[in-house]
Amino acid sequence: MRRIYSATVLFFLVTGLVAALATLARAHGDANGSGGWGAMLAQFHPFFVHFPVALIVLAAVAEVLYVVRRQRGLGDAARFMITAAAWISVAAALSGFAASWGESFGDLLGVFAKHRIAGIATPALAFLSAGMAASARRTGQVWELMLYRVFLALAVISVMFAGLEGADLVHSSDHLEDDHF
């Protein structure tokens, strides 16, 4: 259990440090008339976000299939995917911080705030899920397994909400009501 807390604290420390560095780099680049590496990182936000979204959702699907079918490989796949998603989602969050630097969101400020909160919560929940999964596998404690599944479900909800709010930022808040289909 201590390892889970240590990993979560480390995640927040590293995320905060890199976000601060990205902010400083972006500000330095803006002062010099270029975007700096913070601006370059911001350009990759759409690239970084989609893979962890898929991994988190597929990890949940694999875990549900594991519960139904009791095939150990499915449980192993779910644990691998949520662990990979946790680490990759750090890049998504950091590139999101860089992309938002200096932006004024106007009428979409509330949408942006919800997107940012969900974007921070998703990696945290993914790391908690991965940690609980590893701990449950090591100790065999049922409560850890249940907590892993709760964190995994919350990670799915968080990543879907972050995606919806992100789409609202990019395409406008009424993009689901348009006749594009």
178 lies in some domain: no
Whether residue 180 has pLDDT greater than 80: no
Compute the distance between CA of residue 44 and CA of residue 16 in angstroms, rounded to an integer.
Answer: 19
15 lies in some domain: yes
Whether residue 20 has pLDDT greater than 80: no
69 lies in some domain: yes
Q: Show the 3-state SS of 52-84.
A: HHHHHHHHHHHHHHHHHHCCHHHHHHHHHHHHH
181 lies in some domain: no
Structure-model confidence comparison of residues 20 and 142, the more confident one: 142
CB 113 within 8 A of CB 161: no
- Tell me which DSSP letter residue 175 carries: T
At 145, give phi and psi (nearest 5°). -65, -45
Structure-model confidence comparison of residues 102 and 168, the more confident one: 168
Q: Which of 126, 114, 107, 108 is nearest to 163 (CA)?
A: 114
179 lies in some domain: no
Q: How many domains does the chain have?
A: 1
Percent of the chain residues topping a pLDDT of 90: 22
177 lies in some domain: no
Owning domain of residue 45: 2-171
**In angstroms, how far is the first alpha carbon of the chain from the final one?**
48
116 lies in some domain: yes
What confidence tier does 154 reach under pLDDT thresholds 50, 70, 90? very high
Compute the distance between CA of residue 107 and CA of residue 61 in angstroms, rounded to an integer.
Answer: 36
The reported pTM is: 0.71
Q: How many residues does the chain have?
A: 181
85 lies in some domain: yes
Q: Residue 13 is encoded by which pair of tokens?
A: 């420390």
How confident is the prediction for the chain on average, in pLDDT? 77
Instruction: For 41-72, write each residue's pLDDT tens digit.
Output: 666 677 777 888 889 999 999 999 999 998 88
